[in-house]
A and B are shown apart, each in its own frame.
Chain A
Amino acid sequence: MSRFDAVTCLGCGCSCDDIAVTVEGASITSAERACPLGVRWFGDGGASSAARIGSRSVDSTTALAELGQRLSASAGARRTMIYLAAELTVAGQRAAVALADRLHARLDSVSSDSVAGGILAAQRRGRCGATLGELRERVDVAVYWAVDPAERYPRFVERYLPRKGRRVIAVDVGPTRGPADADERLLVEPGQEIDVLSVIRAASGGRPLEQRPGVLARAAEIGKTLASAKYVAIVYDAEPGEQPRDAGRAEGLTALAQGLNTPTRAALCGLRGGGNRVGAEQVMTWQTGYPMCVDFSSGAPGYRPGQPASALVAAGVVDLLVVAGDFRSVPAGVIAGLRPGQIAVIGPGATSAAPADAIAIDTGRAGIHEGGVAFRMDDVTIPLTAVLPGSLTVADALAQLGGIAPGSR
């Protein structure tokens, strides 16, 4: 039996790194302090190390050779999409970007179909944020905007914004509710969301407002409350949920957080999903300059934020989708419309999750079978521990592929 302390969980973007993992034989038998989501994420640590080409079982070298040939045939590789799914270490993400660069391919990640609105808002306006430790120490008023972290980020409150000593304001947008134990609630109809944000921002800035009815009057009061706080955290779910949201939400919240820094201090905190999704944006940004939607077809990275992977697939301009990471995290729109044989997956559980006609190569899972680094939801890096031995890593597989697939130059 082996025990590993201070292990990082990538079950959600909280990336809690206080997990004590016990391993017996080849299995994880406990993950102390992990939330239910984390316990599921660790599972028993079992991992397949198979590979297949369609339904034909092969070894990973054979599968990679076949994928290399298909890459060569993919219209000079310029109709190839390298796609960063979740559950990759930074090393895996670096290797994926390098391959896309070499192939003059398209490059994207799960971010373009999930958090693009927030990324683009921040590129237009900038942003005011804080790391989670800073929030825990400073915040006296927390606004949960249409999110209850307990649902998808179970330990967020416990670890980063404990309830005690804070005033909590829940803004419920339609059926999307904030925390049940909030000190104050504001119920907003979905169509009113941007108006409410504007009124809160104006009131917090001390601008005189004409008398407003109902929810807008309450919004003005909340604006004054925020302006008199010491440090405000505005928490929202940056990842897509089941309920539709106003496309202007991210920009409105960004503007509100920035504006609050004149009367007081404030930060916007976007909750992010697990599996080191943030890392994909970070690596793409430092290697290309862009956090998503990159086009290498000219030989240098171009930014195509209006052309996420899902749109390119829908337009029929992707001949080969190479997914690095956990295929189960890929949005349906990215896969829909691809023909048989146009998908290859290199990642944990690939042979069981990928379509029957795909090339699939199993790897270990980042943070369980592979050590390295991941980014927390607040852009802070956290080390990953390999608590179980793994077979192939995504980085190694992609490096092998890079040696096989001819570049277009």
Chain B
Amino acid sequence: MSSLRIKGGKVHDPANNVDGKIQDICVRDGKIVDTLPADTPVLDATGLVVMAGGVDIHSHVAGSSCNHVRRLLPEEHAADPVPAPRLLDGEGPARSGSGGTVPSTFTTGYRYAGLGYTTVFDAAVAPTGARHTHLELNDTPILDAGFYALLGNDRFLLDQIARGEREKAREYVAWVLGATGAYAVKIVNPGGVEQWKNGSRNVSSIDDQVGAGKTTPRAILETLTDAANALQLPHPVHIHCNNLGQAGNVATTLATLQALSGRRSHLTHLQFHAYGGGNGQPWISGAPQLVEYIDAHPEVSVDVGQVMFGNATTVTADSPVEYLLSASSGRKWVNVDIELETGCGIVPYTYKEKAAVAALQWAVGLELFLLSKDPWRVVLSTDHPNGGTFHSYPELIRLLMDRSWRDEVLKRVNQKMLAGSKLLDGIAREFTLNEIAIISRAGPARQLGLTTKGHLGIGADADITLYAPDADYARMFATPRYVIKGGVIVVEEGQLRRAPVGRRLRVTPAYDASIGKDLKTHFDKHGTVAFANFPVSQELMGPGGGR
């Protein structure tokens, strides 16, 4: 493989305490190395900002739910046809595709890389759907990618918890992750999806009973959090709390945090779980309460799930939420109940500046970013495509870095629910380039346990993005000058020129093989896929080894 010296760039590498220092980055065989021979080819980075490749900790890019979205929204694709990029000769045929809120797979890979992102995780995959997700990731070029397996509404786990078999639950978790090729455990609305599917509609607190068994969301949260930590997974449980999108849900979110106090955990798209009010009181921001808790609890990390104005598609395993959104919005609606494991709901949605709730959501997200003291633990996401698409990340970065621009937008939005909010009162903070590097690369990589991602130190993967400085930060981050993935220059002078295959990020924790007997019994009784056919083949999981 080739070597490259990236010379003279202004490096922002917060994981290695480098903040805007002019220095060379040496790349050999896909890794960052200490030194290179003097005659090594040089990429002149003079005047450019150098960061590690972006790491998206929470997105929805590949698998059954994404394909349901694509199939539902041909009108979006028709409005955004994407010809194949013109790769360099010998770099293989590029593929055309379509955009919209959930682009086709090849376009997803090209566009993420075009934004300087090189690592992406799909945050919600039903174990039964894992094979499908691998198939789609195999058609998503450039990105190193993985996914989180949806647990917490699955019959086998709920049965173990009801019986007090928490050790068996842990062995099951290890088996599922290995069999599906997943990277982490995802919990969505613990117990609530099962309630939706069994006709009880939902849970409303973490102590509600789930089904007929002695199970509660609290028990599910504790069991899976402890399992992930006991298995020493690189990423802790990735939690989508109960009561998403409900006025007053900040109480549930705080109860969840308190239930897991002292345990390592990650709460996702926190913005959607950070609303005060309810019970006849108007909606208000709950961000300050959550930030206060998170600042004081280093065992907790979160991603924000920022809402951005414009078109989005809500797609989630939290199917009871989508039922309500469909009823209130009148938009078309998909619901799929999945194999005693989880659910899937989809409703296209538009966040409008003049809509009071959307404006509150936008403000809550920004408050979470701007009020937090520790950007390493409050990282960037829009919950693509739920709060906005990944295409909107540059605009979000501008809102964080440029107060005058933020205030200008703030003047335009519906302020009915913002009275007394911190954002309306004025938050002076403007993120620095290093802080942007933290929330979009170094922080997510640290929370994911990716030791070779998110930084530019010796031994790191040579995933590197070079930006041309621009006072318009949205423009700067939307059009990287160079993107290097695993040592390969994929974007040159803003043009996609190469599209190498990405690697799969997954874990294979050890487990007690005796769990297989229980699982076989469960599959024989409740499954419609043979136990022997459930695991995904190694061949399909694609090239691994990204950690």
Contact = CB atoms under 8 A, between A and B. Distances in A.
Q: Do A and B bind each other?
A: yes
Contacts of A239: none
Contacts of B77: 288-290, 301, 303
B339 A133 contact: yes
B533 A383 contact: yes
B83 A300 contact: yes
SS class of chain B's interface: helix, strand, loop or mixed?
A: mixed
A288 B199 CA distance: 36
A289 B97 contact: yes
A134 interface: yes
A215 interface: no
A98 interface: yes
Interface residues of B, number: 61
Given A381-B135, A383-B533, A383-B537, A137 B340 contact: yes
B323 A261 contact: yes
A101 B82 CA distance: 12
A286 B104 contact: yes
Contact of A128 (B81, B100, B335): B335
B369 interface: no
A126 interface: yes
A258 interface: yes
Interface in B196-219: 196-199
Contacts of B81: 298, 300-302
B199 A286 contact: no
Given A159-B528, A373-B540, A282 B333 contact: no
Contacts of A199: none
A289 B136 contact: no
B310 interface: no
Interface stretch (A52-60, A117-125, A359-367): A117-125
B527 interface: yes
B282 interface: no
A122 B96 contact: no
Nearest to A132: B528
Interface string A213-255: 0000000000000000011000000000000000000000000
B533 A301 contact: no
Nearest to A375: B132
Contacts of A5: 532
B336 A133 contact: no
A220 B266 CA distance: 50
Interface string B142-183: 000000000000010000000000000000000000000000
A291 B71 CA distance: 7
B72 A122 contact: yes
B82 A379 contact: no
Given A133-B527, A231-B199, A138 B70 contact: no
A301 B96 contact: yes
B93 A382 contact: no
Contacts of B297: none
B197 A138 contact: yes
A287 B95 CA distance: 9
Given A264-B199, A382-B533, A383-B533, A126 B333 contact: yes
Nearest to A266: B335
A83 interface: no
Contact of A17 (B67, B97, B129, B529): B529
Interface string A43-76: 0000000000000000000000000000000000
Contacts of B76: 289
B96 to A, nearest CB: 5
A129 interface: yes
B336 A102 contact: no
Contacts, number: 182
Given A288-B104, A301-B96, A381 B132 contact: yes
Interface string B64-103: 1011001111101110011110000000010111101001
A276 interface: no
A101 B83 CA distance: 10
A136 interface: yes
B526 interface: yes
Given A265-B199, A286-B67, A300-B96, A18 B530 contact: yes
Contacts of B332: 124-126
B81 to A, nearest CB: 4
Contacts of B540: 373
B83 to A, nearest CB: 4
Given A17-B529, A122-B71, A299-B84, A134 B340 contact: yes
A291 to B, nearest CB: 5
Given A126-B346, A291-B71, A286 B336 contact: no
Contacts of A302: 78, 81
A379 B73 CA distance: 18
Interface in B110-144: 128-129, 131-132, 135-136, 139
A28 interface: no
B100 A289 contact: yes
B231 interface: no
Interface of B: 62, 64, 66-67, 70-74, 76-78, 81-84, 93, 95-98, 100, 103-106, 128-129, 131-132, 135-136, 139, 155, 196-199, 323, 326-327, 332-340, 346-347, 526-530, 532-533, 537, 540
20 contacts: A18-B530, A123-B71, A126-B333, A126-B346, A127-B334, A131-B528, A132-B339, A133-B339, A134-B197, A138-B197, A286-B105, A287-B106, A300-B81, A301-B81, A373-B540, A375-B132, A379-B132, A380-B529, A381-B135, A402-B93
Interface of A: 5-6, 8, 17-18, 90, 94, 98, 101-102, 119, 122-134, 136-138, 159-160, 230-231, 258, 261-262, 264-265, 267, 281-282, 285-291, 296, 298-303, 305, 373, 375, 379-383, 402, 407, 409
Given A126-B346, A134-B339, A289-B98, 7 more contacts: A126-B326, A128-B333, A129-B334, A287-B104, A289-B74, A302-B78, A303-B78
